[in-house]
Chains A and B, each alone.
Chain A
Amino acid sequence: MAFVIKVNGNSHSVDVDGDTPLLWVLRDVLGMTGTKFGCGAALCGACTVHVDGVATRSCVTPIDSVGSSEITTIEAIGATAAGAKIQKAWLDLEVVQCGYCQSGQIMSASALLASNSHPTDADIDEAMSGNICRCGTYLRIRDAIKQAAQSSGQGG
């Protein structure tokens, strides 16, 4: 069956089964490979996107549940204020190693920052513990979120 979904401001019509996870629609049908596959079971966060601004695991989000929601992926997160700050902090603090988990990390972190401009350590734990980084970049992720938050405080 055909579904019309809105990704990064553009509408796409896709003809897949209704239970197809959004992740595969993005990666394999639409060719947007920035969103990553890590576990397929909401255990790692690599596939995180925003659905109406909420960090969501796309690997367990059936396409027929998306409706007219606005989906934002890593490819467009830099166009949001929080996303741009997070990306900048990620570069400034040299967070990334292999980089594979980082799309998901950045999506989780920018959702956090957009809803909470001054997250505490506990807030960061809460928002980020669903995202695994096998390269162990957690410390720098925490610092980068704090730096991005600080820049929010200064620049609005």
Chain B
Amino acid sequence: MAIEHLPSRPGAPEHAGSALSRRRFLQVGVAAGGGLMLGLRLPFAGDARAADADGFEPNAFIRIGGDGQVVLTMPYVEMGQGTYTSIPMLIAEELEVDLPQVRLEHAPPNEKLYANPLLGVQATGNSNAVRGAWRPLREAGATARTMLVAAAAKRWNVDPASCRAQSGEVLHAPTGRRIAYGQLAAEAARMPVPENVALKRPEEFRLIGTPAKRLDTPAKVNGTAVYGIDARPPGVKIATLAQSPVFGGRLKNVDDTAAKAVKGVRQIVRLDDAVAVVADHMGAAKKGLAALVIEWDDGPHAKLSTSQIASELETATLNPGAVAQDTGNTDKAMARAVSKVEAIYEVPFLAHATMEPMNCTVHVREGGCEVWVGSQVMARVQAAAATTAGLPLDKVVVHNHLIGGGFGRRLEADGVIRAVQIAKQVDGPVKVVWTREEDIQHDMYRPYWFDRISAGLDEKGMPVAWNHRFAGSSVIARWLPPAFQNGLDSDTTEGAIDLLYALPNVHVEYVRVEPPGIPTAFWRSVGPSHNVFVTESFMDELAAAAKQDPVAYRLALLDQAPRAKAVLVLAAEKAGWGQRLPDRVGRGVSLQYVFASYLAQVAEVEVSKDGAVRVRRVVCAVDCGTAVNPDTIRAQIQSGVIFGITAALYGEITLKNGRVEQANFDTYQMLRMNEAPAIEVYIVQNSELPGGIGETGTSAIMPAVANAVFAATGKRLRKLPIDPAALKQSP
């Protein structure tokens, strides 16, 4: 299967609509050049219009051409989670074609469909591509199959019921006749559109649930895969930049005499708050940048520090916030409780540190602008480039590329804006490449959060009241303002409300506090990456207060949540929960329901005498509904776990005098091969709606590790990252 990167202009493929369906969410017609075309709408987070038949506008298209190729154009992008493989499986399954017969194209940005911020935004940012596509794509495949069979039956003058579809052909068993889809596509487009199609039952699946090979892999092992940073339009120059080290600061003065003398340096570009060196190659650009003598005006945040931000958040949690959940009567229950447990939790700012540093290539010409980038939000990129270049939207062409790690970073267009600002001053195309230091020091960060949480326990130690208030930034409020309502958004509170446990009285409040000058963004889930750490660590505290086993304690609260109970039991059993471990080694558990998937983890950690934590083994049990591609699910959970361990052990962005203190992988450490634990993933098979998976492993592992450290040392960790000094064995 080829993956094509389309330029942005052509808009939606043509669909003549000779047989416009009455089916509400599917358009069927003749494709340009003959053939069968189906237009459908894949849902996105916050997409209100999907429910409105009058406003139906397809955002994904399936084209079956005369050559029998099935081409799917869809708005989801591949970032390494295997979306490009799992999604075609859904069509191939119902259409009865083999996987290689399906080819995928990136949907171009389409201002009509995506300009509304409520639309087309979160598809690949929220673990939900397969979930969203699950029903519509299978229905579309089944519809096309039914029409192809009908066309064949008409041609042969036989009953459609005597024909069946298989491997891209229609067969008529009684006479042994067969005909390929390609030859039927044009006729099929003129067949009546079936009102109802039967979808396969799970036991009939031949592709879904089998480990399919990733289709995007071969190019990634031989150097031919083209990421944004690899774009090389003819004549491209390379630029690198220094942005004001303090957020909100300005460029005061630059002496570029020495920089201009560097061989290969072509130009110095000055912006209000940044300076860039344009050169023949990155080596010269970096050397030129180092040779600049730059004076900054640090501006209003010159003295900002992390401790100041933390204390502002702490103060904010003394005041009421927006009520995210209020079940029962928490005050009353708390007053009657036999005992009370209270805690304060804090989690730090985090950078994304995608392996591919930020970059964007731009060519601004008279009356037009071309952009080469790897992005999860093409329409946003196009709009940002147009605004910055001062051009109408239709004068901006965006070429999308593979993404060297997203994790939320490539849901933002800040890098594109910066590159266009620079390109406006450059004659010809310029590729702006952030050094790793710039990438880390000018990221948009996972917010810092400060939490106060308390619980009242009954005489048996079971929770009767749960009170949680936390303060921090809302990414949604900036990124998707209409989705932030009454002081709340669904992302910030996910994992803090509607917990799986039987808790009769729950009160949860969120106080929105934006850190001064510091941009925040999604980070491999945002809300859950924080909330699950707090709630699952605190649940462990309650079990300890009740002097009960953490797994047994949770199980006692899960009678109403059988799927959650099942994954917890499975993870505990596979991990050998309860079996003896050596000194300073412990197991910790976590359980979560986020992104519509259930995940239980047991982490086994070893704490050295000097306090260093090593995660030795992680056992995961997941119920994500129908497991479309189990191999991808395993890989994604392993990936999330590693990402989360990095955060738990090392992840922290701190500010001093307004400057980010971390710069490269020596000061912003990543988990490495020699530290990676064994990770086992057990998948609970069922036929429920698929849940998201890409971000789940990350949120679940942080409390599992912290709880394991408690089991190993008796020290409760309420702040991340883990501070080894606090875990030193006293002599």
**Which of A37, A78, A106 has most chain B Cβ within 10 Å?**
A37
- Given that A16-B284, A94-B214 are contacting pairs, would A125 and B673 also be in contact in the complex, using a CB cutoff of 8 Å? yes
Q: How many A-B residue pairs have CB under 8 A?
A: 198
Interface residue? A34 (CB, 8 A): yes
Interface residue? B611 (CB, 8 A): no
Beta-carbon contact of B264 and A134 below 8 Å: no
Binds A, one of B178-186, B195-203, B222-230, B335-343: B222-230
**Chain A 114-156 near chain B by CB (<8 Å), digits 1 or 0:** 0000000000111011111111111111100000000000000
From A41, A74, A101, B355 is in contact (CB under 8 Å) with A101
CA distance A16 to B265 in the complex (A): 11
- Given that A41-B436, A96-B80, A96-B217 are contacting pairs, would A31 and B281 also be in contact in the complex, using a CB cutoff of 8 Å? no
Residues of B within 8 A of A124 (CB): 673
**Chain B 636-659 near chain A by CB (<8 Å), digits 1 or 0:** 001111110000000000000000
For B640, the closest partner residue in chain A by CB is A136
Beta-carbon contact of B642 and A138 below 8 Å: yes
Binds A, one of B160-168, B451-459, B664-672: B664-672
- Given that A33-B232, A103-B223 are contacting pairs, would A16 and B80 also be in contact in the complex, using a CB cutoff of 8 Å? no
- Using a CB-CB cutoff of 8 Å, which residues 662-697 of chain B contact chain A? 664-666, 670-674, 676, 678-679
**Which of B232, B402, B405, B407 has most chain A Cβ within 10 Å?**
B405
For A98, the closest partner residue in chain B by CB is B80
Q: Report B633 CB to chain A, min CB distance, Å.
A: 12
Interface residue? B238 (CB, 8 A): yes
For B631, the closest partner residue in chain A by CB is A94
Residues of A within 8 A of B222 (CB): 34, 74-75, 77-78, 87
For B665, the closest partner residue in chain A by CB is A43
Q: Report A22 CB to chain B, min CB distance, Å.
A: 9
Beta-carbon contact of A38 and B355 below 8 Å: yes
Beta-carbon contact of B678 and A139 below 8 Å: yes
Beta-carbon contact of A16 and B263 below 8 Å: yes
Beta-carbon contact of B283 and A136 below 8 Å: no
For A107, the closest partner residue in chain B by CB is B223
- How many positions in chain B have a CB within 8 Å of any CB in the partner chain? 66
Residues of B within 8 A of A137 (CB): 635, 638-639
- Given that A17-B263, A94-B631 are contacting pairs, would A139 and B283 also be in contact in the complex, using a CB cutoff of 8 Å? no
CA distance A103 to B354 in the complex (A): 15
Q: Report A146 CB to chain B, min CB distance, Å.
A: 13
CA distance A17 to B262 in the complex (A): 9
Beta-carbon contact of A20 and B642 below 8 Å: no
Beta-carbon contact of B213 and A94 below 8 Å: yes
Beta-carbon contact of B217 and A39 below 8 Å: no
Residues of A within 8 A of B666 (CB): 41, 43
Q: Report A104 CB to chain B, min CB distance, Å.
A: 9
Beta-carbon contact of B402 and A129 below 8 Å: no
- Given that A36-B356, A125-B674 are contacting pairs, would A136 and B642 also be in contact in the complex, using a CB cutoff of 8 Å? yes
Residues of A within 8 A of B220 (CB): 96, 99, 102
Interface residue? B435 (CB, 8 A): yes
- Using a CB-CB cutoff of 8 Å, which residues 80-97 of chain A contact chain B? 87, 90-91, 94, 96-97
Binding site for A on B (CB under 8 A): 79-82, 211, 213-214, 216-227, 229-230, 232, 238, 262-264, 280-284, 286-287, 353-357, 402-407, 433, 435-436, 631, 635, 638-643, 664-666, 670-674, 676, 678-679
11 contacts between A and B (CB under 8 A): A23-B282, A24-B281, A28-B280, A35-B223, A36-B227, A38-B436, A91-B218, A96-B80, A100-B356, A131-B673, A140-B638
Known: A17-B262, A41-B664. 19 other contacts (CB 8 A): A16-B263, A20-B284, A24-B283, A33-B226, A38-B357, A44-B355, A44-B665, A46-B355, A90-B221, A94-B217, A100-B404, A103-B223, A124-B673, A125-B674, A128-B673, A131-B673, A134-B670, A138-B642, A138-B671
